[in-house]
């Protein structure tokens, strides 16, 4: 029996589109289903200034399929030299939606990120004043801290002190991976803290990454944690709590860069995210809450209108065939394989 659900068109509140050949190949994958996406600025070199964001936005618009209404919501990459006035101008003009904080060395292309959080005080205060949200890669980089503990340590050592010191600053904890993160987000009752959750962190735990052979296409940062954390993320995403919303963190790397002795972090999920989410929400008996997670909670946090058109997902009688990889002029990019059959597909 086929089953159908319709949703207000979803948005992706955390997306990597890259640049050049990869941008041209992956942009249509997100534009097909999503209305808007928060675009990560970790290019090489990073998107630091308003002028750089404007130029990058033009390259994204040019990579959309003809007739696409997909809207990139730009972010600036926070550095210790970021000029608060540049942020304020770019935000006031509507060019930039948020600023992204990468602790230096935490992940892909984060070398220009922040080492000394005191040096970005002025920018954070300006952002609180003008209502510009801060998107946070929440992992400490202290080599003494185990990689599986880095999110929890970040909350105590960095995030909570920043939020206490900067009242009113609106923060999104990006790609939450732990129960500790879920619990911390739930302590916020004043609308200043939200969190994105990726599709892949609802599906894989660290066993999927490491048992029976290392699976480079399941390696991402923050790295997938124990099963109890995956279950906490599932509970949060499917709870209807508006503090949690979809940010796929779809992060394309070519297969050559993933299947390597030092493989890059990132799962590429843009192509099949919505059918996978329908599968997860159905498993949790929460299909009626998918629209909140994918289409309503994000705009509410960012103070933007919801999309007005709708998409439909159908559960067919036979498994949906997704492409195994997307071809780019730089080489193939493997599409995230959940490891089980998915019967959902997006209509049209």
Applying CB under 6 A, which residues contact ligand DOR? Answer: 16, 42, 107-108, 137, 220-221, 251, 264-266
Specify the residue, 36 or 137, whose C-beta has the smaller distance to ligand DOR.
Answer: 137
> At closest approach, how far in Å is the CB of 120 from ligand DOR?
18
List Cα–Cα distances, 106 to 18, 143, 209, in angstroms.
Answer: 18, 10, 19
Q: Which stretch binds Zn ion (CB under 5 A): 49-57, 138-146, 245-253, 331-339?
A: 245-253
Exactly one of 11, 139, 249, 291 binds Zn ion (CB under 5 A); which one?
A: 249
My answer on whether omega of the bond before 166 falls inside 30° of 0, hence cis, is no
Min dist CB 206 to ligand DOR, Å, is: 14
291 sits near Zn ion (criterion: CB under 5 A): no
Instruction: Tell me the closest approach of the beta carbon of residue 251 to Zn ion, in angstroms.
Output: 6
Tokens of 15: 């997306």
Quote the CA–CA distance of 104 and 327 in Å, as a whole number.
31
- Decide: helix, strand or coil at residue 88: helix
Total of residues contacting Zn ion (CB under 5 A): 1
221 binds, among Zn ion, ligand DOR, none (CB under 5 to 8 A by kind): ligand DOR
Q: Which does 304 bind (CB under 5 to 8 A by kind): ligand DOR, Zn ion, none?
A: none
Rounded least distance, CB 192 to ligand DOR, Å:
23
Contact present, 290 and 239 (Cβ < 8 Å) = no
Helix (H, G, I), strand (E, B) or coil at 297: helix
- CB-CB neighbours of 112 under 10 Å: 17
Cα separation, 69 vs 79, in Å, equals: 31
Closest alpha carbon to 22 in 334, 337, 336, 331? 331
Closest of 160, 219, 157 to residue 185, by C-alpha: 160
Per-residue tokens: 84: 């608060």
* Residues involved in catalysis: 249
Side-by-side strand order, sheet with 193-197: 12-15, 36-39, 71-77, 96-101, 134-136, 171-173, 193-197, 244-246
Query: Residue 145, SS3?
Result: coil
Q: Pick from Zn ion, ligand DOR, none: which does 277 bind, CB < 5 to 8 A by kind? A: none
Beta carbon nearer to Zn ion, 151 or 249: 249
- Taking the least distance from each CB to ligand DOR, the nearer of 264 and 346 is 264
- Cβ proximity to Zn ion: between 52 and 249 the closer is 249
User: Parallel, antiparallel, or unpaired for β 325-326 and 333-334?
Assistant: antiparallel
**Residue pair 296/241 in contact by the 8 Å Cβ criterion:** no
**Residue nearer to ligand DOR on the CB measure, 137 or 315:** 137
Cβ at position 183, least distance to ligand DOR in Å: 22
State which residue, 137 or 225, has the beta carbon closest to ligand DOR.
137
Q: Binding partner of residue 241 among Zn ion, ligand DOR, none, CB under 5 to 8 Å per kind? A: none
CB of 249 to ligand DOR, least distance (A): 6
DSSP 305-325: PPP-SEEEEEE-SS-----SE
Binding stretches for Zn ion (CB under 5 A): 249
């Amino acid at each position: 029996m086929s089953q159908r659900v319709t949703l207000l068109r979803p948005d992706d509140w955390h997306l990597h589109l890259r640049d050049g050949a990869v941008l041209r190949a992956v942009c249509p994958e997100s534009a097909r289903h999503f209305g808007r996406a928060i675009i990560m600025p970790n290019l090489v070199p990073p998107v630091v200034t308003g002028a750089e964001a404007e130029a990058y936005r033009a390259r994204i618009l040019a990579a959309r399929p003809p007739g696409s209404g997909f809207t990139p919501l730009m972010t600036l990459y926070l550095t210790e030299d970021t000029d608060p006035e540049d942020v304020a101008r770019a935000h006031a003009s509507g060019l930039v939606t948020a600023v992204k904080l990468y602790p230096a060395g935490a992940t892909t292309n984060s070398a220009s990120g922040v080492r000394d959080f005191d040096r970005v005080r002025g920018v954070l205060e300006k952002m609180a004043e003008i209502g510009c949200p801060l998107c946070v890669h929440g992992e400490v980089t202290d080599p003494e801290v185990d990689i599986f503990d880095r999110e929890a340590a970040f909350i105590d050592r960095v995030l909570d002190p920043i939020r206490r010191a900067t009242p009113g600053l609106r923060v999104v904890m990006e790609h939450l991976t732990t129960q500790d993160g879920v619990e911390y987000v739930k302590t916020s009752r004043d609308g200043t803290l939200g969190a994105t959750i990726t599709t892949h962190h609802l599906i894989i735990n660290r066993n999927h990454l490491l048992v029976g052979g290392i699976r480079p296409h399941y390696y991402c940062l923050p790295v997938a944690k124990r099963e109890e954390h995956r279950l906490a993320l599932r509970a949060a995403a499917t709870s209807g709590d508006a503090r949690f919303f979809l940010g796929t963190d779809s992060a394309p790397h070519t297969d050559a860069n993933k299947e390597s002795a030092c493989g890059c972090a990132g799962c590429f999920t843009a192509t099949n995210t919505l059918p996978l989410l329908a599968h997860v929400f159905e498993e949790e008996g929460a299909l009626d809450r998918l629209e909140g997670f994918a289409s309503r909670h994000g705009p509410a946090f960012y103070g933007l209108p919801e999309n007005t058109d709708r998409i439909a997902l159908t559960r067919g009688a036979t498994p949906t065939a997704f492409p195994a990889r997307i071809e780019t002029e730089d080489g193939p990019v493997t599409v995230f394989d959940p490891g089980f059959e998915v019967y959902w597909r997006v209509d049209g």
